[in-house]
Chains A and B, each alone.
Chain A
Amino acid sequence: MAPVLEIRDLQVGVDTGREVLSVLDGISLSLEPGRTIGIVGESGCGKSMTALATMGLLPDRFAITGGQILFEGEDLASMPDRQRRRLRGNALSMIFQEPMTALNPVLTVGRQIGEVLELHQGLSGHEARQRALDMLRAVQIPAPERRLDNYPHELSGGMRQRVMIAIALACRPKLIIADEPTTALDVTVQAQIFRLLRELQGETDTAIMLITHDLGAVAEMADDVAVFYAGKCIETGPVAQILQHPSHPYTQGLMVCTPTMRLGAAALAESPPALGEIAGIVPPVGRFPKACRFAPRCPLADDRCRTEDPPLRALGAAHAALCWKAEEEAFA
């Protein structure tokens, strides 16, 4: 099946005024309709920037400096803004992390959902309101008729995030980017939101890019995983493969950090016991090490790792890792 989203060698830079620093370096991913890709990695490794670059919403001073973002075959990176706006919120939509601040405090819920329908589907105010009501039902908000005229501050965090999802899904997008959609919510609500996303995905065949810190959520939701580190995608592959046979030392470290409870006993049995928590922190933008960016923290690093860029090694049908020693590790 033709991928709905294909990112090819994406480069994003930030202009600090003195120089342009690399934020994302050579990100490549591919996502087919109806599938979910989980993007994981520590804070600051470029997950949100990948999402925002795809949406064309990079913050001030950030810009795409190379590569392509193909959405149904058309390059979003080089598309005129006007054309990209027609896709945004329509065929391509995003759910943000902060349900408390991501909704406009002075507009009603009905208005905020209806707006995209009026804009992209040319519905009248009345029709849009009807569809907004349908959407509130679809995201399982109780007493939706009443909620239509509520303002965001009258809703709980979980309900607000449902409203965000309703906005994102209103135009039946081909692709949803969900950037840590449940981080700000408590655990029971997280599970409900994920279940909801999966159900809605089943109905519409939407592709989802799910950004999260939570490997448990990835195990539950994703078909594929991309692991990010310091602006690079260091391992990609099918979810079972990555969780059970993580090849890159960084991915292995991430597994150890995640409570085994959430990954199941299988992960516990198969993850290499040698690695402890990953020591050190992600280097900030502009201070990435020369060759392998993970080398300073990697227990397996040797001289080659510090002097030569590691290759992207294919490890199976769709499994690849950016590491000199990946192969050996995977089948050790």
Chain B
Amino acid sequence: MSRYLPALSRLAQALGLLLAVIVLNFLLIQLAPGDPVDVIVGEMGGASEEVIALMRADYGLDKPVLTQLAIYVGKVATGDFGYSYYFNQPVLTLILQRLPATILLVLSALSIAVLAGTLLGIFSARRPKGLLSHAVTIFSLAGYSAPVFWTGLMLLILFANVWPIFPVSGMTNIRGSGGPVGAVLDVAHHLVLPAVTLATIYIASYSRLARASMLEVLGADYIRTARAKGLSERRVVYGHALRNALIPVVTMVGLQFGQLFAGAVLVETVFNWPGLGRLAYESILRRDYPTLLAILFFSAVLVMVANELTDLAYRKIDPRIGGASRRRRRAKPQPKGASA
């Protein structure tokens, strides 16, 4: 039992955090002016006071805020996220439909950013005064300071008009293409621009981080030891330096996951990608609060899962962070000198 205790306490923490997310988001939305009924009435072209009051009562909007909150929390606990005013579907169904597209987009963008960024950073660290190194620095600065939607729009213009080799909207071809392989390729083809757009800003920050981290590691004493062993420069870099240099990169992956979701809202909107981000954008416009709340909830869950995974990866590359294996953890450092 006791060996599961840390896991249990983490789980309890996670649940507490989710509850806080629900409550805060719920209250935040109460602060926004207007409510869904205003929007619906607006779209209907107006309605009488009685109809409006009836609709409010129907949606439970006439009850005190705290009562509404309690009802909402109770429902979420049973997996009921309510019904979308605008899409006329249970919110959960809606979200489960859109979730895979977003996960696909975010993970692709993240992989591109981490891989490309780290590689660029490492190459430029090996020749800190070389051409590539300067190019990476400039590109990083540009990529870092350009807003995501701007990068997206530029790519969209480029590939819609000038060089139409990638589709600029949606996730699949309406005409459909043959077989499962065709379908996968089709999605991949549509994925290129949104994923690259979302990745751009992060490629920049990963390459900067990897470069700095690699430069620092290459100056470390243990790298001199590795050279003293007669290892080739390539083995020194990839066998000894790389794993150490990756530690800050992995930390950043965990920290950035939330930002990546925020970026996804913009990118999905620009490229019409049918994911949670675009759904968020649409439900904000329509004041579709149940949908918006559920999106925020699921984003929080995803970020927490991502952090947990980062933590695992982190432990895997850095043995100094306890728990690489239980047997090793028991072999505590001896007091200095006593057993040397």
With A107-B240, A154-B332 already in contact, 15 other A-B pairs whose C-beta atoms are closer than 8 Å: A85-B231, A85-B232, A88-B229, A96-B225, A104-B226, A105-B222, A105-B244, A115-B229, A119-B230, A151-B319, A153-B319, A153-B320, A155-B334, A156-B337, A156-B338
Does A300 have its Cβ within 8 Å of any Cβ on chain B?
A: no
* Segment of A184-192, A266-274, A320-328 engaged in the interface with chain B: A184-192
The answer on a CB contact under 8 Å between A189 and B340 is yes
Q: Looking at the assembled complex, report how far the CB atom of A179 sits from the nearest CB atom of chain B, in whole angstroms.
A: 10
> Count of B residues near A, CB < 8 Å?
32
The answer on a CB contact under 8 Å between A94 and B228 is yes
The answer on a CB contact under 8 Å between B221 and A155 is no
Q: Looking at the assembled complex, report how far the CB atom of A251 sits from the nearest CB atom of chain B, in whole angstroms.
A: 30
Partner of B220, one of A101, A154, A164, A186: A101
Chain B interface residues (CB < 8 Å from chain A): 220-222, 224-232, 239-240, 243-244, 317-320, 324, 328, 331-340
- Chain B residues, Cβ within 8 Å of A167: 225, 229
Partner of A156, one of B239, B243, B336: B336
Judged by DSSP, the binding face of B is: loop
Partner of B340, one of A55, A85, A150, A159: A159
- Chain A residues, Cβ within 8 Å of B228: 55, 57, 88-89, 93-94, 96
Offer 9 A-B interface pairs, CB within 8 angstroms, sorted by A. Answer: A57-B228, A88-B228, A89-B230, A101-B221, A105-B319, A106-B317, A115-B239, A151-B320, A156-B336
| Chain A residue with Cβ nearest B229 | A89
| Chain B residue with Cβ nearest A115 | B229
The answer on a CB contact under 8 Å between A57 and B224 is yes
A-B contact count (CB 8 A): 109
Q: Mark A90-134, 1 if CB is under 8 A from B, else 0.
A: 100110101001111111000000011001100000000000000
Does A231 have its Cβ within 8 Å of any Cβ on chain B?
A: no
- Chain A residues, Cβ within 8 Å of B225: 96, 102-104, 164, 167
The answer on a CB contact under 8 Å between B319 and A157 is no
The answer on a CB contact under 8 Å between B224 and A142 is no
| Chain A residue with Cβ nearest B329 | A154
Q: Looking at the assembled complex, report how far the CB atom of B60 sits from the nearest CB atom of chain A, in whole angstroms.
A: 56
- Chain B residues, Cβ within 8 Å of A18: none
**A-B interface, 6 closest residue pairs, ranked by CB to CB distance from nearest:** A158-B340, A89-B229, A88-B230, A89-B230, A101-B221, A151-B319
The answer on a CB contact under 8 Å between A106 and B318 is yes
Partner of B337, one of A142, A162, A185: A185
The answer on a CB contact under 8 Å between A90 and B319 is no
- Chain A residues, Cβ within 8 Å of B220: 101
| Chain A residue with Cβ nearest B319 | A151
CA distance A90 to B225 in the complex (A): 13
Q: Looking at the assembled complex, report how far the CB atom of A283 sits from the nearest CB atom of chain B, in whole angstroms.
A: 27
Known interface pairs A159-B339, A185-B340; A153-B333 also in contact (CB < 8 Å) = yes
